Amino acid sequence: MQLSRSLTGAILLTFSLVFLICNTTNAHNITKILAKHPEFSTFNHYLTITHLADEINRRETITVCAVDNAGMSDLLSKHLTVYAMKNVLSLHILLDYFGTKKLHQITNGTALAATMFQATGSAPGSTGFVNVTDLKGGKVGFGAEDNDGKLDATFVKSIQEIPYNVSVIQISKILPSPEAEAPTPAPNELNLTSIMSKKGCKVFSDMLIATGAINTFYDNADGGLTVFCPLDSVITDFAPKYKNLTAEKKVSLLLYHGIPVYESMPMLKSNNGLMNTLATDGANKYDFTVQNDGEVVTLKTKIVTARIVGTLIDEQPLAVYTINKVLLPRELFKAALTPAPAPAPEAKAPKDADSPTAPEPFAPDGEPADQTASDKNGSVRSKGGIFVAAVLSVWLGAFMSV
């Protein structure tokens, strides 16, 4: 069968669109971008060891202000810890797109750009912002907000731009910032229980100390740790049921609220799926599912669905979030997996049937448990896939009409 010119064109158009969509969905990789330019090898190296490269690659809109090897020498001479180094480099990652054209067309000539340092919550006040100013003579100046308004560095050149999402540019020197360079304790030096106690999770921190489970959290802090901390009001309501658990089950329940990897909020939003926890041990899965709906991130067990409602700390390799419910693993609360039998059709429930004898939520083995959290399962849809399907449908229609 000989294809008509219009049909042939439709086929070529279809494959061209598929190719275009597949290529435009590929994520950027800051490490590979900078690897093409050896003069930025030191800057690239520290993006990797501080894990900032992973954060950059997960961002959809970002500008990286790279400094060449000569410009990095002054920073290295300060002998900062890797954690302080991370803060300094975070100040060079702007959470907005600034390509060459935009740099020379800034509204009112100046802009205050938020940085990844500001996003960590470690930067007090506005110290995590960078002043970007279009100067006379075609120059663009950059300065940390906590550096008395000085524009210490200038724009040198564009390294790579992917309008209007990713821009990698070179600036003349590192931006000095007293706040970013301040000594930063390593995660194992941080007092987790103190952080929790001061920010609404004192009851949970007391439980960690009382059971000794806190030691497992600290053991995992260096390699990466994320903690989901129920608020005090939530734990207080749950306390009677918690007391009925054995000592071993109490530890398992507390460990269930931590995962042995660092997960920033952007990572949680993009890495939906099953998560192992500190309680995971062989046949005892002790896992839960991370789901997000827009900006809302939920943690779903077989028993209950909790929502992340706040951030206590989010700084590689440690993140602590507050949640609005206690996470209940099916390994400890099995009764909720078996729904109660429905009453016979002819039976009529008394008027006070659901008052004193109503089942209590959050019950341990052998008792009813909370089954009210039945959020709809989230599904990931590819806009590109839908578009391709539509094009293929048009092509098929054209083919059938030949």
Question: If we measure between CA atoms, which residue out of 322, 318, 86, 83 comes closest to residue 224?
Answer: 318
pLDDT of residue 44: 93
pLDDT score of 138:
83
- 317-342 in b/e form (b: 16+ CB < 10 A) is bbbbbbbebbbbbbbbbbbbeeeeee
- Model confidence at 187, in pLDDT bands (50, 70, 90)? low
- Which CATH number is 189-332's, of 3.30.1950.10, 3.40.640.10, 2.30.180.10, 2.40.160.20? 2.30.180.10
Tens of pLDDT, residue by residue over 97-142, are: 999 999 999 988 999 999 999 987 778 888 899 999 999 788 999 9
97-106 pLDDT, tens digit each: 999 999 999 9
**CA 71/CA 50 separation, integer angstroms:** 19
Q: Is the peptide bond before 343 cis (omega within 30 degrees of 0)?
A: no
Between residues 400 and 109, the one the model is more confident about: 109
Residues 6+ positions from 97 with CB-CB distance below 8 Å: 61, 62, 63, 163, 164, 165, 166, 167
Instruction: Work out the mean pLDDT of the chain and round it to a whole number.
Output: 80
pLDDT value at residue 48: 87
Q: What percent of the chain has pLDDT over 70?
A: 75
Q: Within the chain, how many helices (H) and strands (E) appear?
A: 16, 14
pLDDT tens per residue across span 57-105: 988 899 999 999 999 998 998 888 888 899 999 999 999 999 999 999 9
Please tell me the predicted confidence (pLDDT) of residue 333.
Answer: 87
Q: Residue 352: its pLDDT value, please?
A: 43
pLDDT of 216 > 80? The answer is: yes
- Tokens 């329940």, located at residue: 253
Strands 140-144 and 296-300: unpaired
In words, the CATH class of domain 30-171 is mainly beta
Q: What is the mean pLDDT of residues 175-179?
A: 91
Cα–Cα distance between 107 and 279 in angstroms, integer? 52
Give the tens place of pLDDT for each residue, 342-396: 555 544 444 443 433 333 444 444 343 333 333 333 333 334 444 444 544 554 4
Distance CA 311, CA 120 (A): 10
Q: In what order do the strands lie in the sheet with 258-259?
A: 258-259, 225-230, 318-323, 305-315, 296-300, 288-293, 273-275
C-alpha Rg value of the chain to the nearest Å: 27
Q: Is 54 left (phi over 0), alpha (psi -120 to 50) or beta?
A: alpha
Crossing angle for the helix pair 69-76 and 41-49, to the nearest 10 degrees: 50
- Residue reference for tokens 């960078």: 130
Closest CA to 151 of 120, 175, 167: 175
CATH code 2.30.180.10 region(s) in the chain: 30-171, 189-332
